[in-house]
């Protein structure tokens, strides 16, 4: 016989106080960003794990072009390239904002032919181009394949890395800088990572309350425009730093994210629960003002107390009660304490969503 568990939760009436965060943690600045670079190169020194030049035409051409650049001409010699110690690769990198000539960045290397592995190979000098076709970085160095070792000896697989994807730490040297002058900017435009009208207004108010001149305006849910005062144009770094460190209280849409594949449930702090009752297998869940005592009219207090104790015994040890306000997080926590499987928790949440008992966006992955 299945035991019936009852969980009684008062209706959640007020959201918990939100923590403050810095403006810099929730926005980006227009024009101050990374730039993506890409190039084509060759990785040499592989132990027979590279491309087969007879199958990969562009690798063969790349080898011939490289040899000609260093003064070795094999055109017309009649020889056939059979080496498998070379692999054609794409080289990618992100050029940080304000990267200066001579600074070094990490580059990623990926095979594009039929190479089995590029581990331990050396990338020959490769120019990396921006979207405008100009060269900004030159990359070269030994390719490293990241390996992940399990914490437990029970795991048989030593590494789940891909042998045809690697990186070169500090393998790219900046040759040309992207021209960007802060002192020439008359306005700063901040973009919210997660657009929200209330948060945008909060940011504009925080700036206006701390910087004279009423300079900030929320243009929409994701954009805040700040007019740079004339007296701050010569100290733009300090001006931006002052804005970035201002505290605000972000306000986001209440959301519940459910990953059915892994049984993971992530709940935002603003999620509210409406009164609802759900039966799920051997569980009965009551949320809200649904009292379990059945008071009889005109019953003396002594008999009423005895009656309530009898009701308590009938409910058993599986009852969990919450005092004060309760959140959806507390509901899930209560289910976990009762040993409810993640799959059943997901089913319960889906049922609550179906009847509109959760005031939140439900995202199922």
Give the range among 91-95, 216-220, 287-291, 344-348 with minimum mean pLDDT.
287-291
Measure the CA–CA gap between 198 and 260, rounded to whole angstroms. 31
Question: Hey, which bits of 32-79 come out as E strands?
Answer: 35-44
- Name the pLDDT band for 312 (thresholds 50, 70, 90): very low
Residue 203 pLDDT exceeds 90:
yes
Q: Which of 284, 287, 202 is nearest to 248 (CA)?
A: 202
DSSP notation for 320-355: EE--S---HHHHHHHHHHTT--HHHHHHHHHHHHHT
Bridge-based pairing state of the strands 104-111 and 87-95: antiparallel
Q: Which residues does 242 contact at the CB level (< 8 Å), separation at least 6?
A: 210, 211
Cβ atoms 127, 138 nearer than 8 A: yes
Residue 6 pLDDT exceeds 70:
no
Mean pLDDT (whole number) for 305-332: 52
Give pTM, 2 decimals: 0.66
pLDDT greater at residue 265 or residue 107: 107
- Name the pLDDT band for 52 (thresholds 50, 70, 90): confident
Residue 326's pLDDT is: 54
* Positions of CATH 3.90.1150 in the chain: 24-31+183-248
Residue 303's pLDDT is: 55
The structural architecture, per CATH, of the domain 24-31+183-248 is: Alpha-Beta Complex (3.90)
Give the range among 130-134, 255-259, 276-280 with minimum mean pLDDT.
276-280
The token pair that represents 151 in the structure block: 């914490």
Q: Which residues pair with 145 in a beta bridge?
A: none
Mean pLDDT (whole number) for 331-342: 70
Residue 258's pLDDT is: 79
Q: Tokens 């889906």 belong to which residue?
A: 350
DSSP 120: T
Cβ atoms 88, 42 nearer than 8 A: yes
Mean pLDDT (whole number) for 208-221: 91
Residue 153 pLDDT exceeds 80:
no
3-state secondary structure of 241: helix
Q: How confident is the prediction for the chain on average, in pLDDT?
A: 79
């Amino acid at each position: 016989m299945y035991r019936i568990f009852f969980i009684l939760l008062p209706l959640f009436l007020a959201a918990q106080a939100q923590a403050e965060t810095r403006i810099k943690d929730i926005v980006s600045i227009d024009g101050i960003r990374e730039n993506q670079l890409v190039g084509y190169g060759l990785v040499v020194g592989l132990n027979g794990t590279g491309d087969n030049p007879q199958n990969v035409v562009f690798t063969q051409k790349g080898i011939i072009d490289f040899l000609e650049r260093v003064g070795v001409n094999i055109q017309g010699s009649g020889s056939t390239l059979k080496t498998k110690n070379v692999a054609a690769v794409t080289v990618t990198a992100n050029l940080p904002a304000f990267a200066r000539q001579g600074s070094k960045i990490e580059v990623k290397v990926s095979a594009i032919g039929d190479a089995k592995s590029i581990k331990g190979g050396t990338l020959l000098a490769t120019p990396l181009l921006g979207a405008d076709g100009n060269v900004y970085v030159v990359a070269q160095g030994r390719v490293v394949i990241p390996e992940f070792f399990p914490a437990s000896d029970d795991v048989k697989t030593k590494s789940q890395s891909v042998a045809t994807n690697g990186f070169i730490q500090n393998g790219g040297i900046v040759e040309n800088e992207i021209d960007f002058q802060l002192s020439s900017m008359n306005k700063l435009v901040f973009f919210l990572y997660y657009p929200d009208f209330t948060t945008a207004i909060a940011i504009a108010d925080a700036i206006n309350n701390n910087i004279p001149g009423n300079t900030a305006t929320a243009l929409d849910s994701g954009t805040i425009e700040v007019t740079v005062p004339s007296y701050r144009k010569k100290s733009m770094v300090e001006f931006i730093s002052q804005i970035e460190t201002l505290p605000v209280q972000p306000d986001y849409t209440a959301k519940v994210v459910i990953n059915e594949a892994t049984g993971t449930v992530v709940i935002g702090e603003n999620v509210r629960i409406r009164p609802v009752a759900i039966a799920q297998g051997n569980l009965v869940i009551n949320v809200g003002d649904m009292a379990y005592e059945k008071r009889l009219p005109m019953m003396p207090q002594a008999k009423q107390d005895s009656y309530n104790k009898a009701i308590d015994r009938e409910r058993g040890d599986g009852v969990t009660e919450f005092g004060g306000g309760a959140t959806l997080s507390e509901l899930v926590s209560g289910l976990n304490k009762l040993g409810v499987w993640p799959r059943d928790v997901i089913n319960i949440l889906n049922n609550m969503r179906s009847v509109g008992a959760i005031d939140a966006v439900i995202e199922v992955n």
